[in-house]
Structure 1
Amino acid sequence: MGGLLTLLLILLTFLFTEDTSTETFVNDHFIKDNGEITTYMTSDDILSESIGLYMEYLVETEQKQAFDEQAALVRTKMDDGFIYWRFNAEANANASVDDLRIMRAFYGAHALWQEETYQTLGNEIKQFILSEQVKNNLIVDYYDMKSLMTANEVHLSYIDGRALRNFFPNNIQQAHTDILKRVSDDPFFLRYISLSKRNIRIRKKLI
């Protein structure tokens, strides 16, 4: 979704060095005066994907003030743990991959700065996922607030192993592990699984 910004934030988070040129570029071109992080240089789109990646980076680099700005934005757009995937335009659904990342960022912030608010916000997101987005012990891709319908698919790219460590009992984590064990190095790539009422149907797509 996020294109260039997503790539930059991933580089910042996982390849962080003392060189701050990438961070400066993000601050200059993607951060608005009010602290909101846009997804594209030429638009004002604000996505939960970008915010989650940025919050994760801010925890890693211990930038509390900037983290609190993003946390405040999330709180204004969060409805009992539900986070719309797009903040400043019409959207009805969330995206579990983004919500899990934001949840994990809140837990990381709580561990780092010992503020209970972070823990509370992380718990709200986790509780919504548990109550509305778990089928067969798997966290499905989204929940649609308008139709009150839940997805019947789990994309493997949405599975966040680190976030799953926060779910107890561990049957949810084990269910996702079992799915990932089905991935092989044959010419077909396991992209997602489709859940039905009676079984789990596996869909594969050529790389």
Structure 2
Amino acid sequence: MDKSIQRTASFLLLMILLGGCAWNKQQESARPKNEQPILQGEYFITHHLMTEQGLIRTSFAEQHTYLSESLGLWMDYLIRKKDQSSFDQQLDVLHTHFSLNHQLLSWKIEHNQKSKVNALVDDLRVVSALQNADQLWHKPKYRTRAVQIAQALKDKAMFKGMLTDYYDATTNQTSHTITLSYIDPKAVKELASLHVFTEQMVNDQLSILKKAPRQKGFFPKSYDIAKKNYSFDKEVNLIDQIYTAFYAENCQIDTSSIMKWLKTTFHQKGKLYGRYEFESLQPAVTYESPAVYALLVLYALNRNEPGFALDVYQRMKQLQIQDPLKPYYGGYMNKKDTHSFDNLLPLIAERELLNESVIQ
């Protein structure tokens, strides 16, 4: 081969290789830097519970039910994952499907009909998610929607200056009680940062949590605003207790006694049950709850106890279908059915463990 032709061919080959390398680098730089892997639980939710419209089914029941609880938890997860496109899809779901005329959210959609009742805990969770979205992505639409919900809570869902469990638009009546596990201090403080609540109003709400009496280290279930008294359940519901303890920690309330009981019981038995008899502290049910374990993971992380969080996480994962050949891969199943709550909370806990580098 002529040397000049050989040099030309070599030059062209070099240019092709360099061009290929440059194209690969462009492709790599085009990928979002914060792109996160899809977790097993996320795969299950998007493939088995989520509809084409972006709604999350509560279960596999033939008649689909959708909850604002699921919407808020999924938005919470997407914030932790920093997935703006999916978050914006859920904001559309909020507008299209859950928003009521007074701007509160319907707590349930069933038979294609929106309930006229809201749920304080879900509305607060969505407000908090929207505020976090505003801080992450700086788009006015997030804060605007948060203000609308916050203002509606102030206008409709309060009794004697206190937030209550729900407002019923059908009867124009507001609950006279507040469930302690609904009082998320960070979410309540967002109502002030949105200039809807004053600092005094925030302090009034949090005082219910701060003044709550304890029995055997456990928190009351609810507070009656009209009667000014607290009520305890006959059973210890771990979902309620761990949520309340988690929020109490954020109010600088000592929760070491309940955490000690949780750790001792877990380490002795290797598991926790969903409910316990209050008097004997013996299990009142025979089931384990993935949501209980997920909340305990978040609570342990909040107390800076990553070792215990990891122990609980490992037990939680044993309840998940991790075989990719199984039809409900990634799900937390109860025989042939499931519940969105028992899948969304474990997903949030797992993402938080990743974010905190407790797992990889």
Pairwise TM-score range, normalised by the shorter structure = 0.7 to 0.9
Equivalence for 2:207 = 178
Q: CA deviation at 1:102?
A: 0.8
Is residue 2:176 matched to residue 1:152?
yes
Q: CA deviation at 1:140?
A: 0.3
Is residue 2:84 matched to residue 1:55?
no
- What is the CA deviation profile of residues 4-28 of structure 1, one whole-angstrom value per residue up to 9, with x for unaligned ones? xxxxxxxxxxxxx967111111111
Relative contact order, higher structure (CA 8 A, sep 6+): 2
Q: Does structure 1 conserve the Cα–Cα contact (< 8 Å) formed by 2:58 and 2:66? A: yes
Q: CA deviation at 1:52?
A: 0.4
In the alignment, the residues of structure 2 paired with residue 33 and residue 124 of structure 1 have an alpha-carbon distance, to the nearest angstrom, of 27
In the alignment, the residues of structure 2 paired with residue 51 and residue 31 of structure 1 have an alpha-carbon distance, to the nearest angstrom, of 11
Q: CA deviation at 1:178?
A: 1.9
- What is the CA deviation profile of residues 148-198 of structure 1, one whole-angstrom value per residue up to 9, with x for unaligned ones? 1111010101111110111332223222332222242437641101122xx
Q: CA deviation at 1:204?
A: 2.2
Equivalence for 1:69 = 89
In the alignment, the residues of structure 2 paired with residue 111 and residue 71 of structure 1 have an alpha-carbon distance, to the nearest angstrom, of 16
Equivalence for 2:107 = 85
Q: Matches of residues 97-108 of structure 1 in structure 2 within 5 Å?
A: 97-108=121-132
Q: 46, 53, 66: which is aligned to 2:66? A: 46
In the alignment, the residues of structure 2 paired with residue 49 and residue 38 of structure 1 have an alpha-carbon distance, to the nearest angstrom, of 11
Equivalence for 2:283 = none
Is residue 2:50 matched to residue 1:31?
yes
Larger mean Cα displacement after TM superposition, 185-194 or 52-61: 185-194
Q: Matches of residues 104-123 of structure 1 in structure 2 within 5 Å?
A: 104-123=128-147
Query: How many residues get paired?
Result: 189
Q: Does structure 1 conserve the Cα–Cα contact (< 8 Å) formed by 2:124 and 2:187? A: yes
TM-score, with structure 1 as normaliser: 0.83
Equivalence for 1:11 = none
Equivalence for 1:8 = none
Is residue 2:150 matched to residue 1:130?
no
Q: Does structure 2 conserve the Cα–Cα contact (< 8 Å) formed by 1:35 and 1:66? A: no
In the alignment, the residues of structure 2 paired with residue 161 and residue 47 of structure 1 have an alpha-carbon distance, to the nearest angstrom, of 23
In the alignment, the residues of structure 1 paired with residue 213 and residue 122 of structure 2 have an alpha-carbon distance, to the nearest angstrom, of 23
Unaligned runs of 5+ in 1: 1-16
Q: CA deviation at 1:94?
A: 0.3
Q: CA deviation at 1:134?
A: 2.2
Q: Does structure 1 conserve the Cα–Cα contact (< 8 Å) formed by 2:54 and 2:90? A: yes
Equivalent residue of 2:231, what SS? Answer: strand
- What is the CA deviation profile of residues 93-152 of structure 1, one whole-angstrom value per residue up to 9, with x for unaligned ones? 000000000111111111111110111000000000111222343210000011011110
Q: Which amino acid aligns with 1:154?
A: I
Q: CA deviation at 1:57?
A: 0.6
In the alignment, the residues of structure 1 paired with residue 174 and residue 38 of structure 2 have an alpha-carbon distance, to the nearest angstrom, of 43
Identity of counterpart residues, as a percentage? 28
In the alignment, the residues of structure 1 paired with residue 108 and residue 53 of structure 2 have an alpha-carbon distance, to the nearest angstrom, of 18
Equivalent residue of 2:171, what SS? Answer: coil
Distance 1:192 1:186, change over 3 A: same
More helix by share: 2
In the alignment, the residues of structure 2 paired with residue 74 and residue 62 of structure 1 have an alpha-carbon distance, to the nearest angstrom, of 19
In the alignment, the residues of structure 2 paired with residue 155 and residue 116 of structure 1 have an alpha-carbon distance, to the nearest angstrom, of 32
Task: Note the aligned Cα RMSD (angstroms).
Answer: 2.0
Equivalence for 2:166 = 142
